Chains A and B, each alone.
Chain A
Amino acid sequence: MVAIEDIRSRAKELLEGGMVRAVLGFRRSSAGLLAEPTFVVASEDVASLVWDATCVHNLALYLVNEKKRQKAERTPDTRPLAIIAKGCDSRAINVLLQENHVAREEVVILGVSCEGGGVVDTRKLADALRGKEAASAVCDDTGKVKVATASGEVTFPAADVLADRCLECTIAYPSVSDTMFGEKVDERGFTARFAAVKSIAAMSEQERSAFWDGHFERCIRCYACRAVCPMCYCDECVVDSTSFIVSPMTTAEEKANRIRWIQRSTTPADNAMYHMVRAMHLAGRCIDCAECERVCPVNIPLRLLNTSLEQEALEMFEYTPGMDPAQPSLISSFRDDDPNDFIR
């Protein structure tokens, strides 16, 4: 079991020694069950750090945001940033390192293994509690989740309340870290990997098409999925003409010649195109933190799109994103024995 005290004392050391400019972690939220991201700057504040099954956010996003913020600062603090990272978060950091977006020396990774647990899915939890409000949620050693409510503690099997990606996760420990908390656990025995996406793949083509049409027609193109994704760090998004940068250097010809692959209106076709392009651009980069799906205000099961490509990458090319920052990326590399049956 991971003891939060260990994480706090390491955070304190780092802050007191001035080795990092802040520790990026989780604290209790002022609203709702889920812990919220926090930048701890003062060593006396480390007591606010928490670690339990409500720490769902992928904090790697803030590495990207911080980089943008720092760029704008006149005298940025160039000390590294410490970050608390679950297995999936650490893989996201690895992809950012792989793509040279973040340098290894810019970050101190406090890797935390989820061991036999994971993070809760608030929708599943609300269902399980039947109207009761959860005050806290903690995974224990036996694959159970203890939830505190106003009327006492309730215990659920992990499968009932943990997020799908945690149930399918086979790499629940950090793939990169400076300090690791908890044990490396490979065998978790919840659900088979890619179970969710396989159930969709089992549908007939017509069923599947209708399934996705039904979801895409709801999309309001708020781009929350893009905003929460640590891999969507392009300044300019090729499928969103509102993001096109106009600077004093941009010529009228450049403006006129901008390609609008997708219209801004939320027609089902343009919505589908947006999500497809995003999925393709995340192929070999998405590390399955499922944040896109969590933040979607209209409940589109976006994780399925990305895990489908993740499954292809694994099954056809033995590629798992975020395991090694030195490996060439999926789409830029090939082996002589890559399968090529699909080329005619």
Chain B
Amino acid sequence: MTRRAGVFVCHCGTNIAATVDVKNVVSELARDDGVVFSKDYVYMCSDPGQQSVIDAIKENRLDSVVISCCSPNLHEKTFREASSVGGLNPFQCEIANIREQCAWVHKDRAKATEKAIKITRSAVRRSLRDESLTPIGVPVTRKVMVVGGGIAGIQCSLDLANAGFDVVLVEKKATIGGHMLQLSETFPTLDCSQCILSPKMVEVSKHPKITLMVQSEVKSVSGFVGNFKAKVHTKAQYVDPEKCKICDDCAVVCPVVATNEYDEGLTGRRAIHIPFAQAIPASYTLDEDACLGLNPVVCGKCKKACEAGAIDYDKKPTTTEIDVGAIVVATGFDLYGKDKLGEYGHGRYPDVLDGLQFERLCSASGPTGGHVLRPSDQKEPKNVVFIQCSGSRDPENHCAYCSKICCMYTAKHATLYKHHVPDGNAYVFYIDIRSGGKGYEEFVQRSMERDSVMYLRGRVSKVYESKGKLKVMGVDTISGRNIEIDADMVVLAQAMVPSKGTAEIAKTLKIGRDKDGFLAEAHPKLRPVESVTGGIFLTGAAQSPKDIPETVCQASAAAAKVIQLLSKPELEHNPAIARVRESHCTGCEMCVDACPFEAITLVNGKAHVNEVLCEGCGTCSGTCVRAAIDVKNVTQLQVFEMISACMGG
């Protein structure tokens, strides 16, 4: 049986043709065994280009097609579909990448042409041994798990639920709302954060399609796109949210005072407490670490005080298994560690605050009822210094990236401060102001002009305490002078970093992270809300620093992607998957351990591939010393032929 291959070489305008002698590639390949048709065209991906592939398949009875063009990431799909229209099995169409891997990286025309010939020839050899494959049909679970109950997770859950999908929203803390719930006002409109967020939170709690799991964490996820199995661990729910009347009787009698994490440590709370008045689920919650012992003999005051009988010390943690078709990760951000900014005295001096602490000071629900007062003596600060880029844009010592939102929230903080203390002075140290966004630049200008915030272009070297004042040593690079300010309060606009659990959830879900630890998207421009793992989507600040409008936008985008995925009755799975040569398998289990998708198990002492779990990555094939496992259409024989072709054999 001799196969009939067709070779199509693209000029890509001059992208390829400027460096590679395309005509030469065509004439060389025409002489190869098995090649019965070859041609070049200026834009193979254009409609006439694709049509020429379709026509050539029909006219020349081609049973393999090689397109020599750009990366298969871009047009493999296009040409496989065209081949299919021409009557060829799409998996018998291969792409030879002579643009990214040849024309774009070389200058010498003769050598680049020689390389393009080798790349194309090796693809031809591979295609001559390509099997005809049929995509594997996989059923879909029409349910979604959203991890993280901040604004990103809330928006995404609502969009999905409103589209008719069942949603499980998993939140680590006792209430949903995330960092947005802690904010006082939001830029650039200065509308109250809680006022715009709480209606959405209420909608989540009332939505029949949304199951809310608070104090819960995803422990493990198995399965694959359309069919994930997640294990969610929920802490013991000592207070029944159904019965809790939010009367505060329990907190009044509770003898334990713990740091209030929702006020960023500025106040205390009882072991039994409600995180926020607007908390969803609307219920008190018992902090078991702070509680004296969940034992009526030791304390038991809250249980006695609760008239509704909502408290039960015998509750145990639970683990729930959930089947979902897609997962959205919205685990958000944390502020860059205060211990890392020793030069600014954060953590050492009580009046050096971070951005979130200042939000709480400005917030009506915060520790001071919305009055800006110094934590050390509860006096109104008259001189406040805001330091931008604390930890951001400092590749030597801290984070290399720009945290994006700090310019804007610092302008907001300074404006709010001036509204609270009109006779006070607000100083902002900045590198430059990044205020791209609708109404953002006007907002910053307003803070300078109308609210007389003093902007100083330069960095702060040190903050130290002297005679009850915070000495801020900085430089104003515009006037070229060193500046020393006696401040009553210093607010640091700290860098945003991925939230603490991000590394762990990335590992659990087997999705990548970038160099800064944020979740990695599948393509920085064209697939911004997809992870590299099918069926797992990203949204919010866990993916990169972003503000509320962008987060909401991305959350809805992720929801749209999920809807697109789960709207099909059946998913198609790539059939180019691993295949075991049972005669050669010794059952050593190396491939079982190596498989990143847990697709291989040992059945009767031989490796067995679950065809739906397998992604065809070939790790198993690379691991097996006995050549007992191969990936279809990338078999060892094909690899051998490809190498031979490149070596001139």
Bound together, the chains give a CA A233 to CA B588 distance in angstroms of 11
For chain A residues 93-146, which have a beta carbon within 8 Å of chain B?
98-101
Asked if A77 CB lies within 8 Å of chain B CBs, one says: no
Bound together, the chains give a CA A116 to CA B594 distance in angstroms of 38
Which A residues are CB-close (under 8 A) to B586? Answer: 99-101, 233-234
Categorize the interface residue count of chain B.
20 to 34
Asked if B593 CB lies within 8 Å of chain A CBs, one says: yes
Q: Mark B58-96, 1 if CB is under 8 A from A, else 0.
A: 000000000000000000000000000000000000000
Asked if A265 CB lies within 8 Å of chain B CBs, one says: no
Which A residues are CB-close (under 8 A) to B588? Answer: 98-101, 329
Asked if A189 CB lies within 8 Å of chain B CBs, one says: no
Contact across chains for A259 and B583 when beta carbons are under 8 A apart: no
The stretch of B31-39, B344-352, B531-539, B619-627 in contact with A is B619-627
The residue of chain A having its C-beta at the shortest distance from the C-beta of B590 within the complex is A332
Q: Mark A219-261, 1 if CB is under 8 A from B, else 0.
A: 0000000000000011110100000010000000000010101
Contact across chains for A234 and B625 when beta carbons are under 8 A apart: yes
Contact across chains for A100 and B507 when beta carbons are under 8 A apart: no
Residue of A233, A238, A336 with most partner-chain B CB within 10 A: A238
The residue of chain A having its C-beta at the shortest distance from the C-beta of B644 within the complex is A259
Bound together, the chains give a CA A100 to CA B636 distance in angstroms of 25
Known contacts A99-B589, A238-B627, A329-B590, A336 near B507 by CB under 8 Å: yes
Contact across chains for A245 and B583 when beta carbons are under 8 A apart: yes
Bound together, the chains give a CA A257 to CA B589 distance in angstroms of 26
A236 interface neighbour in B584, B590, B592, B636, Cβ under 8 Å: B584
Asked if B241 CB lies within 8 Å of chain A CBs, one says: no
Contact across chains for B587 and A100 when beta carbons are under 8 A apart: yes
The residue of chain B having its C-beta at the shortest distance from the C-beta of A327 within the complex is B593
Q: Mark B603-645, 1 if CB is under 8 A from A, else 0.
A: 0010000000000000000010111000000001100100000
Which B residues are CB-close (under 8 A) to A238? Answer: 625-627
Categorize the interface residue count of chain A.
20 to 34
The residue of chain A having its C-beta at the shortest distance from the C-beta of B589 within the complex is A100
A99 interface neighbour in B507, B590, B594, Cβ under 8 Å: B590
Asked if A157 CB lies within 8 Å of chain B CBs, one says: no
Which B residues are CB-close (under 8 A) to A329? Answer: 588, 590, 593
A99 vs chain B, min Cβ distance (A): 4
Bound together, the chains give a CA A120 to CA B118 distance in angstroms of 53
Asked if A150 CB lies within 8 Å of chain B CBs, one says: no
Contact across chains for B594 and A235 when beta carbons are under 8 A apart: no
A306 vs chain B, min Cβ distance (A): 14
Which A residues are CB-close (under 8 A) to B583? Answer: 245
Contact across chains for B593 and A332 when beta carbons are under 8 A apart: yes
Which B residues are CB-close (under 8 A) to A261? Answer: 640
Which A residues are CB-close (under 8 A) to B625? Answer: 234, 238, 281
Which B residues are CB-close (under 8 A) to A281? Answer: 625
Asked if A202 CB lies within 8 Å of chain B CBs, one says: no
Asked if B591 CB lies within 8 Å of chain A CBs, one says: yes
The residue of chain A having its C-beta at the shortest distance from the C-beta of B595 within the complex is A332
Which A residues are CB-close (under 8 A) to B602? Answer: 100
The residue of chain B having its C-beta at the shortest distance from the C-beta of A328 within the complex is B593
Which B residues are CB-close (under 8 A) to A245? Answer: 583
Asked if A343 CB lies within 8 Å of chain B CBs, one says: no
Bound together, the chains give a CA A139 to CA B602 distance in angstroms of 45
A331 vs chain B, min Cβ distance (A): 5
Asked if A199 CB lies within 8 Å of chain B CBs, one says: no
Contact across chains for A259 and B626 when beta carbons are under 8 A apart: no
19 A-B interface contacts by CB (under 8 A): A98-B588, A100-B589, A100-B605, A101-B588, A234-B626, A236-B626, A236-B627, A238-B626, A259-B627, A259-B636, A259-B637, A259-B640, A329-B590, A329-B593, A332-B591, A332-B623, A333-B593, A333-B594, A336-B507
Binding site for A on B (CB under 8 A): 507, 583-584, 586-594, 602, 605, 623, 625-627, 636-637, 640
Binding site for B on A (CB under 8 A): 98-101, 233-236, 238, 245, 257, 259, 261, 281, 328-329, 331-333, 336
